[in-house]
Amino acid sequence: MIRQATQDDKERVMNLGWLMWKQSTVYEKFGWSWDKVSNMFDRYCQQPEKLMLVVEKDDNIIGMLLANTHSQFYTNAKVASQQIFFIHPLHRGGSAALRLMKKFESFGRHNDCDFLNFSQSVQGVDDRWDKFCKNLGYTHVGNTYFKDL
């Protein structure tokens, strides 16, 4: 089942976020802040221009999508941007990701957005990601690069 997250989900969502963080060598080396994640969870639960969906299966949270709306920085276009999209590795390949994306699209339409923006935010995602996005009608616009300083 996909639904809007509630305060009762906080610990389970934060733990799923921790798993996502552990899978990324880019972010893992900078440490994890339970306080920062807790504050982010609260903001996404309390502000109507933000979306926090969870995928629940057998009383476990196995996926999540966080998004918000904003004005594009160089136009008057209104954008729905994904911040976090994660499905637990043991539950990938099913319909959860597709169902999350459909809810994300509905969120964008409901908020009168001109377009959606989402991306892969950690390395190591399997090659199904590009095919998944293209099958949903998205255009590949760019890549994200990191360099340690």
In tens digits, the chain (149 residues) has pLDDT values of 999 999 999 999 999 999 988 887 777 788 899 999 999 999 998 888 899 999 999 999 999 999 999 998 888 999 999 999 999 989 988 899 899 999 999 999 999 999 998 876 665 555 677 787 788 888 877 766 666 67
The predicted pLDDT at position 62 comes to: 96
Residue 95 falls inside a structural domain: yes
Residue 143 falls inside a structural domain: no
The predicted pLDDT at position 147 comes to: 61
Residue 56 falls inside a structural domain: yes
Domain around 76: 2-135
SS3 category, 140:
coil
Residue found under tokens 């399997």: 126
**Half-sphere exposure (Cβ direction) of 75: Cα atoms closer than 13 Å:** 6
Residue 47 falls inside a structural domain: yes
Residue 80 falls inside a structural domain: yes
Q: How many domains does the chain have?
A: 1
Residue 58 falls inside a structural domain: yes
Query: For the packed helices 10-22 and 34-46, what is the interaxial angle rounded to 10 degrees?
Result: 130
- List the CATH number of the domain containing 58: 3.40.630.30
Residue 37 falls inside a structural domain: yes
Residue 54 falls inside a structural domain: yes
The predicted pLDDT at position 144 comes to: 65
Tokens of 137: 């009608």
